[in-house]
Amino acid sequence: MDASGTMSADLSSDCERLAADALDTDILGTSLDFAMHGAMAVLRRDLLAQLGAVRPVVFNLLALVGANPGILQTQLADALLLDRGSAASLVKKLQQWRWVEHRVREADRRCKGLYLSVTGARTLRHLKSQFQKHTARFHSRFTPDEHRQLLEFLQRIARQ
């Protein structure tokens, strides 16, 4: 349609856009992948703005170390859905920032238990309060039942 609402028979001689809602989204309209992509994009943009310079994966890692003092890198990798190399790079960065410390386990010197530093613990508390603001904005779009249901749906997809 052009601006006056009539069909344009020849697009190549009419630079009006097809109206956005006149676009045929084809498979995209019912694609789980694409709907997920869109939801992720919005969620992520909001979370990034809320956490500032801290990446979401760093927040997740801090939360896990905070809740599981002595956790190993390989366990972090598993829980965060990362490979060992990516987990190692992250941990190295967090150690340079002095947010995380490690102690080699004497019983098996290959293993390093990870712990939050005092600074790391303080940072985590701050990030959690920021995360709560982010979470609240999206929780408010769902009833408690809907939210539980959505989480269950997502976990059903993630289950291998």
Partner DNA sequence: TATTGTTATACTCTATAACTATA
Partner DNA sequence: TATAGTTATAGAGTATAACAATA
Among 72, 63, 64, 65, residue whose Cα is nearest residue 105: 72
CB of 82 within 8 A of CB of 121?
A: no
| Interacting partner of 49 out of DNA, its own copies, none (Cβ under 5 to 8 A depending on kind) | none
Among 11, 36, 13, residue whose Cα is nearest residue 22: 11
| Interacting partner of 130 out of DNA, its own copies, none (Cβ under 5 to 8 A depending on kind) | none
What residues from 128 to 157 belong to the interface with DNA (CB under 7 A)? none
| Interacting partner of 157 out of its own copies, DNA, none (Cβ under 5 to 8 A depending on kind) | its own copies
**Residue among 1, 19, 39, 83 that touches DNA (CB under 7 A):** 83
**Residue among 50, 65, 73, 123 that touches DNA (CB under 7 A):** 73
| Interacting partner of 54 out of its own copies, DNA, none (Cβ under 5 to 8 A depending on kind) | none
- Part in contact with DNA (CB under 7 A); list of ranges 5-13, 103-111, 116-124, 150-158: 103-111
Cα 16–Cα 20–Cα 21 angle in degrees, nearest 5: 125
Min. distance of Cβ 59 from its own copies in angstroms? Answer: 8
Q: Which is nearer to its own copies, 71 or 91 (CB)?
A: 71
Total of chain residues touching DNA, rule CB under 7 A: 25
Residues forming the site for DNA (CB under 7 A)? 17, 37, 41, 55-57, 72-74, 81-86, 88-89, 91-92, 107-112
